[in-house]
Amino acid sequence: MTINKALLALALGVALAACSNAEQADSAAQGAADAAADAQIAADETTDPAVADTAQIAADDAAAAADAAADAAADAAAATTHEGAEHAADAAEHAEKAAEDAADAAEEVAP
């Protein structure tokens, strides 16, 4: 009986960790999507033709990073191991950072 309880506790711990990683990845994907939306708004509001292309490229980069974050979040949710979910969640967070950086670039060039 004690071994069964220990195995059950271990299984619950792994399940909770996987859930936590999936939630972390989902949060990162939402943050990346928000950054991509901000970048596109900045690009759309750019009135100077000299920087409009640069702002749109930054917005496109942010959108690509948001797509990567969404893919990583799906990978985290589908991961069958804790390590796989953790790596996918980390990838989603890196993609979120890339989207935020691209949004910052779009906002910097927009007047």
pLDDT tens, residue by residue, 31-62:
999 999 999 999 999 888 889 999 999 999 99
CA gap 71, 63 in Å, rounded: 12
> Please, which pLDDT band fits residue 22 given cuts at 50, 70 and 90?
confident
In this prediction, residue 107 carries a pLDDT of: 92
Q: Which of 73, 81, 94, 84 is nearest to 25 (CA)?
A: 73
Three-state DSSP class for residue 46: coil
CA gap 84, 89 in Å, rounded: 9
In this prediction, residue 55 carries a pLDDT of: 93
> Please, which pLDDT band fits residue 96 given cuts at 50, 70 and 90?
very high
Residue scoring higher pLDDT (31 or 17): 31
CA gap 70, 47 in Å, rounded: 31
